[in-house]
Structures are given as structure tokens and as C-alpha cells.
Chain A
Amino acid sequence: MQIQMNVNGADRSADIEARTLLVHFLREDLGLTGTNVGCDTSSCGACTVHVNGESVKSCTMLAVSANGETVTTIEGLASGGEMHPMQTSFMENHGLQCGYCTPGMVMASVSLLKENPNPSEAEVREGLEGNLCRCTGYHNIVKAVLAAAG
């Protein structure tokens, strides 16, 4: 099937199998491998991207369902060589170790603050419930998101 979408500011089109998951389209057709796959049950959130500005687990969406939409991946978050404030905050607060969950965690966190610019610690924890991390114990992730909120 022919699809087209705007990904990180560029119009992309491709001929793909109808069953192709959005995450596999991004990773394997567009080479945007920053978005990771951590599970097969939509549980871990490693594949979180933004579709029209909203957090989406890209393993749960068919690429054809994103036809005509605007997608932002972790590669599209930094601009002009400067990391996004959320990326900087993760670095400054040691909110990542192995870094595998990190792209999804950052994308979910950006989305969280967009919906709730001044969350409490409990609201951050609740807001990130769909994103699993095995390294950090979440302490520094929560700290990073709260710091980014200012």
C-alpha cells in the first residue's frame, strides 16, 4: 500500500505491506532506529512517538493508520543541534542508564508536560505508568521530568 506522512518535518512516502506496524515502518523503511521495541503487548512504551502531537505506542498502530498524519520521533525532538529541554533534563538528572527505554520515556514525558505543565511527583509517576525502565528504578526519571517542568 502507498502511504505518506510527515515525519520529523519531512514528507515521506513508501509502498508497504498493509500489516506493517508504524514502529517497523519508522525503523526499517525510514531508518529512524531511535524508536525502540521492548515488548509485544503494548506494555513497555519503548516505542512511544508523537502522532499529531499526542503520545502513541508505535507498536500498537499500523503504519497505514498514520497515513497523512504528522509523526515526531526521538530524532525529531532536538532542533538546531540543541537537545530538547527534556533530553537535557534526563542527562542532568541521570535519568537514563542503558538508554533503551529512554527515547520512549522522553517522548512520553514531553507529552505528559504538555498535558500537565506542573505535575506533582505522584502525577508524574502516574503519567509514566505505561513506560517501563529496568535500570533506573524511576527515581531519577521522575526527578528529570519534575526538573523539566521547572
Chain B
Amino acid sequence: MTAVMGSPRLRKEDPALLTGENKFVDDIQAVGQLWMGMVRSPFAHAKVNGINAEPAKSMPGVYAVYTGAELMDMGLWAAPLPCAWPVTPDMVNPPHYPVATDEVHHVGEIVAVVLADSRYEAADAVEKVEVDYAELPAVGSVEAALTDAATAHSDHATNKAFTWALEPNPDGVNDAFANAAHTVTGEFLQQRLIPAAMEPRGVLAIPSPHGGDITMYTSTQVPHILKVMMAATTGISEAKIRIIAPAVGGGFGAKLNVNPDESLALTLANKLGRPVRWTETRTEAAFSTHQGRGQRQKIEVAADADGKLLGVRVHLDADMGAYMMLITPGVPLLGSFLYTGVYDVPAFGFTCDGWFTNLTPTDAYRGAGRPEASYAIERAMDMLAQKVGITPEEVRRRNYLGGGDAFENLDVASTLTFDSGHYGPNLDMALNMAKIADLRAEQQRRRDAGESKQLGIGLCTYVEICGLAPSRALAGLAYGAGGWEAGTVRMLPTGKVEVVTGSTPHGQGHETSWSMIVADKLGVDPDDVEVLHSDTAISPLGLDTYGSRSLAVGGVAISMACDKVIDKARLIAAHQLEANPDDLEFESGRFGVKGSPDKGLLIQEVAYGAFTAHNLPDGMEPNINEQMVFDPPNFAFPFGTHVAVVEVDENTGETTLLDYIAVDDCGNQVNPLIVEGQVHGGIVQGVAQALFEGAEYDEDGQCKNPSFLDYLVPSAMEVPSIKTDYTYTPSTSNPMGVKGVGEAGTIGSAAAVINGICDALSPYGVSDIEMPASPMRVWKTIQDAKAGA
């Protein structure tokens, strides 16, 4: 049998997706379903004086209209929507119910719900609901929040929600800056991003009055977490709730929340005994689904005369938006540990203030805190290189952990222990692929010739934290759950294998990869392995998919469950072959007796024997059905080097990405085809932040670009093909040596692109540019620099 692990096997998910057979939430119909239409606030901050729903109630097809106050009176909720990450004991967490009653805190907050027979009739009736608002002063940005001139919640005295610090060595940081030959300060804005998974979120809750239970289909990354949270906030017994994430069209963090619409569908279906559904429109998604980023960063770096780092000090002002959603306040913390990057930093300090604004809540978005951290340190390293007068690669080499050599289980200044790293060869490979000397020569030629299209070469050497997460580490961060993952491997009587995973794929190809893990372990054909997932009735134990955790925790659980299968099968085989278990070799799916090549049993034969139970060792339970719950001892720390080659037209300000080179190291790989796909997509999402995307708000908290007409998700036209390669440094955090790659591309690319633009514009004296580096912003920056020169 040829090796399965590490082979670019085509995905078993694809045929159903390519032919349209797959069912996303909006594809599923239920007899008697009612469509929800949300009446949403047009104001960012207002008192709700009254609602007249009568004109809507008489519209065709309308079943009911409920205001926030009426819904509260119906007793649908036992508690507000949850925040699972109270980062400090005194964190301010205003109650967030699915529908506002007397005061709205962001544009799009729901004030009333229409139920109608069709999508169109619900939309029509929403237009007829009359709401009397009294507008209040709005906090339209984190800068406005800082002043406390207005407060986002009128019963709050300040917009500050919390202050969180990671200061393991404050004296050391002070000494570092006191003794530094060079210091640089970077102040960066991580603009708000609209996640824009291609499938809009949707939900369909179906009550089953005879069984007393309720099934909710929802476009989510986290059916298991959602089930617990729905039970806790609605009072419906957890045992009565079944959550199914059918085909899910991308998530990127935006689908890991517990949303007002989900709570409304579940509780209204339960109350009314009718299926209740809703699907957001794309423009509505700017208000109904959380956003990403939204941080102001200040990073200070102290170094000696050679550019060797002495200390790093960081402060964030993080925009929470109007409410704390599931992990809103935890996102900056996820980044806090990465502000020292891949570097040997003797002293580190980090503080973060969280602020309420009257904007859509923020929460996880691809990378969640880590792209922001990588951006800040990688921009600062380039600034330091310029100050010291060395190349960007040289300043990095001088500061790599382990001197750029291989290391394992290394303690770093941000209090974590990096599992493994080997940064030097990774950098070398990327620079060779980029042909860095040729690029620099061409850059110089263009500068000397005074050409209008300048070349820039941007470097980023990132590290990320993934494999979320060791449960004890999460306890230390006050996170409200563990970080384990469950996997079950079940041998069926006919020799096929059924795998149950608590991971919840939404494009990552877990069915393919998990099949490969099992095939490799058990010596069966990957096509004989069926992977079941994303349904809490089928896969009751799980903690879902986010934070590049699925392979490093969930995949490892599958692998370890296979070990248990082999252990049990070995005992059965030994019994039936009348051999000592220690005398059996398991190879390519067969237990053979050492020294007797003809004597053996295939694992499929053992599975059938375990099923009939005719001839098992005394006291052994029939069947082979093994579960493993893996709680990793440490995070995993993938790393890589990205090089962005940009061309900036000084006449138009337009930036063209000419080439992009990515050398990533995610440890051992299961399926390189899937790894590469994750890298490509991640890179383009980071490039999008650097060049195109940003949710823009005016001072009244109105989003100026909620639709795809104005919010520039890049098309194939805006990005180049990407050159990828890999180094392979196995993780020490799990027996498979795997790390994680879902967020890597995003963590490396925004900094690489902006470093490239700043490199291109350095002859003009430009040292920084805000994201997104739109043509207008680049052009203006050049003009300002010329005027100032």
C-alpha cells in the first residue's frame, strides 16, 4: 500500500459540492415554516420610545410581530446572550438580549421581529413596523470612546470595559528602554473587517412537539458550544436541543458566535410549535454578524547598537463594539503572547484596554488577535532595520529564537513555551525563492532611473499560536471552557470504519484528512472510512473548529483513538490466532504472527469477530468502538516567511502585487493539497486587509460600506498566483507532530504587503502607511512626504 499520510489526495467532499447536492441551511425546507424578518435600528444609539406593529400585522402572510418588550414578557430567555471570556473579574458586560427593549446600541440592533409565511412577505412587513426613536449621542470610533465625551451605554460612566495586562518583567522592560541604543515606536490601526464568508449566516429551528425536543440547523462553526450556550441562556434542557451545522459555506471566525437570530429561532420555534427560519442578506451581515480586528496598537521596541532586541512594550486600545459577544474581549489576549514574534526578547510587557463603541460587536476573525500582533512586531522590525542600517532579513537573523537554529520546548518572554522552531532555513528558502538579490537590483535600477512605478520587497517572519488549547492554559486566561477535542473510531461489521469527530469543518476538508489519518493508522482504504460530524446527536462530544485547532487537537484525537482500536484488535487477534499479543506485528492492516508469515488476521476480520462476539477473550466487551478525548499539553507554534513583491505607481497610488512567496512550516502534513489551499486563502485574506478592506464608519456610527458594492472583497483580478513551499519542523505538543495552518497565511501577509509598500516608498521618506493602503491613501502619503521633504 502506498503511503497515505503526506499525499495530495483529492477531497471526498468535492463531488457533492461541485454538483450542488450539498445542503446549506438555506437549502433546507420545513413544512409550516415561518420566516423571521428583523426590524433593525437605523441609529447607532437611541432610546426606543415606542413601536407600532399594527400596520405590519395586517400585511399578507404575516403570522405575528413581536417587539422586544413583548418577547421579554413571553419569558423566552433565562439569561442574556453569553460572553464566555470575562477577561478580568471586573470586566463590564452590559446585558445583551436578542432583541433590544428600551435602548439600542448599534445600527442594526434588532427591536422587533416579524414572522411571516415567506421571505418576501417578512421583508415587506418589516418595512411597515413603525418605531419611535430618540437619538442619543453615539460613540462612532475607539478614538471617540477614549474621550468618554459620550458613552456607548447611557447608564455607563465610562466606555472602558476592562484593562488587562501581561507584565511578567516590568523592571526588565524599563531597564531595556533605559539602556537602548535604538528605540522605535509604531502606532498602527487594525481597521475593522467584515468577515464575509460567502455563505451568509442562516438558521432553521424545527420543533418536534411529540418528542419534546428541538432541532436547529445553523450556519455555525460551533454546534457543540452553541448547544451548551442555548441551554444556559434559554432554560431549555440541554438534552432537548439538537444542533446541526449542515454544509457550512466558510466561517473565518464569523460563525463561532451565539447570535440573536439563533436564540430567536430556537425559542420562538419552541414557543410557537412551528419551524422558524432566517437567512441574513449580505448587507444585513454588516450588522447581524460580528466583525474582526478593530484595534489601535502602540508598540515600542528597544535594541542595542547592533539591532539586537532588548525589550518590547505594547499597548492596545481594543474596540469591543456595542456588546461583549462570545469571545469578544479575549481576542486581544490571544494576540498578546505573540508581540515578541519569532525573536529572542529579554523583556516584554503588554497592556490592553477594551472600549465600548456604538458599532457592530467585534469578535474572532481569521487569526483573531494574532495577525494584529504579527503585524505590529513585523512592522516594528522593519523600522528597526532602517534605523540600524541593516536589511530586514539581517535584523531578523540577529534576533531569531535559538539563533535561527532548531530548538524544542523553548520558554519565551511572553511566558509561553514554544514547541519547536527552526527559523533560519525557513527564511533562507523564502529569500532564495524570491531571488532577493535580483529584486533589490531591479529596485535600485528603477530608483536610479526615476521611474514612476517603484518596486518594494516586504518581508514577514511570523509565528502563530494554534491548536487551541490546553484546558489548563485556558483556565489561566479565564476562558469559560476547555480546549480538548473528542474523536471516536468505530469498526463496522463489514470492515468499514466510522469516525466521529467533534471538529466542525466548513471548507477545511476534515472528511478527507481524518480518513487519511485513519487509513494510515489502520491500513484500510481511505474510501472505506466515513467521517461523521457537525451534529450534536451524532457527535455529542466536541469543541468545534476555530483557532487552527482541528488537526492539532481533533485530528490527533482520531489518531490516538486508532491506537486504542489497534490495542483492542490486537487482543482479539491474539486470542483467535492463539498467539501472545506481543508476538503480533500490525502492518498494512494485518496482524501477523512473528515468524509465521501465513498466520494472521486482517483488521476487517477482527472487526467482524468483534461484532459477532463468538470468540472473544473472556470478559471483553463486543465490538470495537474506541473514543479518545485529547487535551493537548501545549499549544502548537507554526511559523513561516512571507515575501510580498509590490509595485507602487506614484502617479496613481495604485499598488500591484507582482509576486508572493510563502514558505510555511506547520510541522508534519497530512494532506499537502489541503495545506496549500489553506495557505493561499489565508494570504489573500491578509492581502485584503492590507490593500482593500475596511468597514468604514462615520462619527454617528453609520457603516458607510456594508454591501459588496462598497466593501472590497478582492476578486481574482486583484491578486497574483502564489509561490509556496514548506519546511517541516514537527511539533512536540502532540504525537503526530502536527501544528495547524488555517490562519497562517493571514498572519503573515498583511505585514509583508505593507512592509513592501513602505520599502517601495522609502526613497520618499515614507516610513508607514495605514491599512487599507488604497490608491488614494498611497498617493496622498507620497504627496505629503514630497511636500514635507
Min distance, Cβ B240 to any Cβ of chain A, angstroms: 29
Give chain A interface residues in 80-126, CB to chain B under 8 Å.
83, 87, 90-92, 94, 96-103, 106, 121, 124-126
Would you call B281 an interface residue if the criterion is a C-beta within 8 Å of the partner chain's C-beta atoms? yes
User: In the complex, which of the residues A20, A24, A37, A121 has the most CB atoms of chain B within 10 Å of its own CB atom?
Assistant: A37
Would you call B684 an interface residue if the criterion is a C-beta within 8 Å of the partner chain's C-beta atoms? yes
Question: Among the listed A27, A98, A131, which residue makes an inter-chain contact with B199, where contact means beta carbons less than 8 Å apart?
Answer: A98
- A129-B717 in contact given A38-B198, A98-B507, A136-B677 (Cβ < 8 Å): yes
The interface residues of chain A lying within 8 Å CB-to-CB of B163 are none
Give chain A interface residues in 4-39, CB to chain B under 8 Å.
17, 19-20, 24, 27-28, 32-39
Give chain B interface residues in 486-543, CB to chain A under 8 Å.
506-509
The interface residues of chain B lying within 8 Å CB-to-CB of A28 are 29
Min distance, Cβ B136 to any Cβ of chain A, angstroms: 29
CA of A85 to CA of B23 in the docked complex: distance in angstroms? 23
- A134-B11 in contact given A74-B19, A87-B18, A99-B507 (Cβ < 8 Å): no
- A40-B283 in contact given A46-B198, A124-B716 (Cβ < 8 Å): yes
Indicate if the CB atoms of B18 and A137 lie closer than 8 Å. Answer: no
Would you call B685 an interface residue if the criterion is a C-beta within 8 Å of the partner chain's C-beta atoms? yes
Indicate if the CB atoms of A91 and B673 lie closer than 8 Å. Answer: no
**Consensus secondary structure, chain A interface:** loop
Would you call B618 an interface residue if the criterion is a C-beta within 8 Å of the partner chain's C-beta atoms? no
Please choose the segment from B350-358, B560-568, B706-714, B764-772 that sits at the chain A interface, where 4 or more of its residues have CB less than 8 A away.
B706-714
The interface residues of chain A lying within 8 Å CB-to-CB of B250 are 97-98, 100, 134-135
Question: Among the listed A17, A19, A99, which residue makes an inter-chain contact with B13, where contact means beta carbons less than 8 Å apart?
Answer: A99
Indicate if the CB atoms of B676 and A94 lie closer than 8 Å. Answer: yes
- A139-B20 in contact given A38-B198, A133-B198 (Cβ < 8 Å): no
Specify the chain A residue showing the minimal Cβ separation from B721: A139
Would you call A142 an interface residue if the criterion is a C-beta within 8 Å of the partner chain's C-beta atoms? yes
Indicate if the CB atoms of B721 and A121 lie closer than 8 Å. Answer: yes
The interface residues of chain A lying within 8 Å CB-to-CB of B709 are 41, 43
- A98-B716 in contact given A36-B199, A77-B19 (Cβ < 8 Å): no
CA of A78 to CA of B674 in the docked complex: distance in angstroms? 25
Would you call A3 an interface residue if the criterion is a C-beta within 8 Å of the partner chain's C-beta atoms? no
User: In the complex, which of the residues B673, B681, B709, B713 has the most CB atoms of chain A within 10 Å of its own CB atom?
Assistant: B681
CA of A17 to CA of B200 in the docked complex: distance in angstroms? 25
Number of interface residues of A (CB under 8 A): 59
Question: Among the listed B10, B11, B716, which residue makes an inter-chain contact with A125, where contact means beta carbons less than 8 Å apart?
Answer: B716
CA of A44 to CA of B283 in the docked complex: distance in angstroms? 12
Would you call B477 an interface residue if the criterion is a C-beta within 8 Å of the partner chain's C-beta atoms? no
Indicate if the CB atoms of A36 and B249 lie closer than 8 Å. Answer: yes
The interface residues of chain A lying within 8 Å CB-to-CB of B283 are 40-41
Would you call B78 an interface residue if the criterion is a C-beta within 8 Å of the partner chain's C-beta atoms? no
The interface residues of chain B lying within 8 Å CB-to-CB of A132 are 198, 708, 713, 715
Would you call A67 an interface residue if the criterion is a C-beta within 8 Å of the partner chain's C-beta atoms? no
CA of A46 to CA of B281 in the docked complex: distance in angstroms? 13
Indicate if the CB atoms of A43 and B708 lie closer than 8 Å. Answer: yes
CA of A24 to CA of B713 in the docked complex: distance in angstroms? 24
The interface residues of chain A lying within 8 Å CB-to-CB of B717 are 125-126, 129
Would you call A66 an interface residue if the criterion is a C-beta within 8 Å of the partner chain's C-beta atoms? no
Specify the chain A residue showing the minimal Cβ separation from B709: A41
User: In the complex, which of the residues B717, B722, B745 has the most CB atoms of chain A within 10 Å of its own CB atom?
Assistant: B717
Min distance, Cβ A49 to any Cβ of chain B, angstroms: 11
Question: Among the listed B119, B281, B683, B722, which residue makes an inter-chain contact with A40, where contact means beta carbons less than 8 Å apart?
Answer: B281
The interface residues of chain A lying within 8 Å CB-to-CB of B29 are 28
CA of A90 to CA of B11 in the docked complex: distance in angstroms? 11
Would you call B59 an interface residue if the criterion is a C-beta within 8 Å of the partner chain's C-beta atoms? no
The interface residues of chain B lying within 8 Å CB-to-CB of A78 are 19
Indicate if the CB atoms of B716 and A135 lie closer than 8 Å. Answer: no
Would you call A128 an interface residue if the criterion is a C-beta within 8 Å of the partner chain's C-beta atoms? yes
List 13 interface pairs A-B (beta carbons < 8 Å), by A numbering: A19-B120, A36-B24, A36-B26, A38-B200, A83-B19, A91-B18, A97-B677, A98-B250, A101-B198, A102-B18, A124-B716, A125-B715, A136-B677
* Residues in chain B within 8 A of chain A (CB atoms): 10-11, 13-15, 17-24, 26-27, 29, 119-120, 196-200, 247-250, 252, 281-283, 506-509, 673-674, 676-677, 680-685, 707-709, 713, 715-717, 719, 721-722, 745
